[in-house]
Structure 1
Amino acid sequence: MTRLEVWAPDGFPEVAAGDDLAILVLAALGGGTDLVDGDVVCVTSKVVSKAEGRTRVGDREAAIDEETERLVARRGATRIVRNRLGLIMAAAGVDASNVAPGSVVLLPLDPDASARALRREVHARTGTNVAVVVTDTSGRAWREGQTDIAVGAAGLLVAEDFAGRTDPHGNPLVVTLPAVADEIAGAAELVQGKLGGRPVAIVRGRADLVLPPDDDGPGAASLVRAEGGDLFGWGAREAVVRALVGDEADRAPFGQEADADELSAALRRLPDAADRTAAAAVCFAHGWRLEDWERDRPQA
């Protein structure tokens, strides 16, 4: 039998810049006596950011601009962006909730480093080997609502790679890669709640995912796809405009160059084969230039 326990202590104090987060976390956990080897300590990015002085007074839009690497999609006032951490999120992860009016909280500068520091402190003060996950709320493509994900991690196998194994029926598993760090973050949010003032949670029961004290693992950054590795690098509307403009700076999010057969099939779908503007846009979206295609395309 496998059992998972998740709980979040009440009574966590308001966090301010310069606070020792490890002291606050351990105080909420009975001075650390509530922890055992193999536990996963989950902390919201908001309290990490507050302790690290990542709170800003002023305009939220300016803060979003500061954190944005590139705009992915815009719908009215809503901006979906790739932020400086490589995360694709609404408003770059800038949050105006659970903070003083007129202020916003930015994500930690390096959530993996924050997780590593907290893990080291917990181990130094208690001798307990835990993993640490820094969580934040994110929307999902194709799904309503939001869930928490891991934006930082230390001492945790953040993904289980089942590729090359077989299921009980003998079927080979090719790309099965459960993002267990995100699953742990989602489980933690269930007991933390959005309005409960419980920014810390403990997940117990997956000690097999917790690494030795001297191994912090690859961190949550390893779960972020490289630019161009996502099939949806632009919003639907934005992709059309970017392809038509054909700016070289916009090419990477379209992904790797398509092979000649794939591009040829796409060009055949154009209603007017002589429309060079449309053909150039299709070529651009597939990683080609029209002039290169015309020179190198397979001959019938």
Structure 2
Amino acid sequence: MELFAVPDLPEIRAGDDLAALIAERADFEAGDVLCVASTVVSKAEGRAADLADFPASDRAEAIAARLAELTGEEKDPRFAQAVLEESEELVIEAPFILAVTRFGHTTVNAGIDRSNVPGHDLLLLPENPGASAERLSEALGIPVIVTDTSGRPFRHGQRGVALGWAGMPASRDWRGEHDRDGRELGVTVQSVVDELAGAANLVAGEGDGGTPAVVVRGFEFGDHEGSNELFRSEEDDLVRQALRAWEFGE
């Protein structure tokens, strides 16, 4: 398997035909998968915003004041309001905001970015990354994964993860298959969209690299059952349930 960045993409702006811009710069082959950063998807879909778009509610004021007290740094309540409006739930509000987005992804600050947004204060995640991936996949004729970087519990650092995908299953199911000793596998479900997103992030890089689209060539899904389950349901997410009952400082 090999991965390579799509070169020379321009600064993406609202209304740009992202699929056409990528297609002009990449020669796809059968079996290719495109991983594209949510930042450029959001920009093309007009998801850049300003703090002035989010007048702070009483709840946002309280969240910002608590965070400022804990960190010793001034916090803009309008940012907290943006997080509230982009979330279906705040799992915790201190010492940082951990939010569940409206499409099911759990991440800090609802994934709102404050870097690489020329002319604006904020960049929101795509409203529906799955639908975004579907549109790109249909236009390009290959599977597409919309990616972001995200921190992980119990580990330092961020890694690439999938937010939306189309043209391929999210995971491959090894349950019922056997290991080298003949033991049947009972729990192994491999999140291939996350693993491809992580691999693509190594090529795309961070900061001012300007290479947000990566082609994966030679990946083979294999003869496995596939599944589109990626985000845990509320009922199955024991960590989310535990965090709801926890309060920072107690």
2:172/2:221 contact within 8 Å kept = no
CA–CA separation in structure 2 for the residues paired with 1:240 and 1:150: 28
TM-score normalised over the length of structure 1: 0.69
The list of structure 1 runs, each at least 4 consecutive aligned residues, that deviate by more than 4 angstroms after superposition, is: none
Unaligned runs of 5+ in 2: 52-77
1:38/1:208 contact within 8 Å kept = no
Name the counterpart of 2:83: 64
2:171/2:227 contact within 8 Å kept = no
Secondary structure of the corresponding residue to residue 61 of structure 1: helix
Cα deviation per residue 1:89-144 (whole Å; 9 max; x = unaligned)? 00011111111265211111111111111111112xxxxxx210000111111111
Name the counterpart of 2:117: 99
Secondary structure of the corresponding residue to residue 24 of structure 2: helix
Higher relative helix content: 1
Cα deviation per residue 1:244-283 (whole Å; 9 max; x = unaligned)? xxxxxxxxxxxxxxxxxxxxxxxxxxxxxxxxxxxxxxxx
1:78-117 matches, within 5 Å, as: 78-100=96-118, 102-117=120-135
The alpha carbon displacement at 1:231 in A equals 1.8
Q: How many residues align?
A: 220
- 1:18 equivalent in alignment to 2:15: yes
CA–CA separation in structure 1 for the residues paired with 2:148 and 2:170: 15
Unaligned runs of 5+ in 1: 124-129, 210-216, 242-300
TM-score normalised over the length of structure 2: 0.82
Which letter maps to 1:156?
M
- 1:44 equivalent in alignment to 2:67: no
The alpha carbon displacement at 1:80 in A equals 0.7
Q: Higher relative contact order by CA 8 Å / sep ≥ 6: 1 or 2?
A: 2
Q: CA RMSD in A?
A: 2.2
Q: Compared with structure 1, are the counterparts of its residues 9 and 239 closer, same or farther at alpha carbon in structure 2 (3 Å cutoff)?
A: same
Higher relative strand content: 2
Identity of aligned residues (%): 43
The alpha carbon displacement at 1:10 in A equals 2.8
1:151-170 matches, within 5 Å, as: 151-170=163-182
Which letter maps to 2:146?
V
Secondary structure of the corresponding residue to residue 49 of structure 2: strand
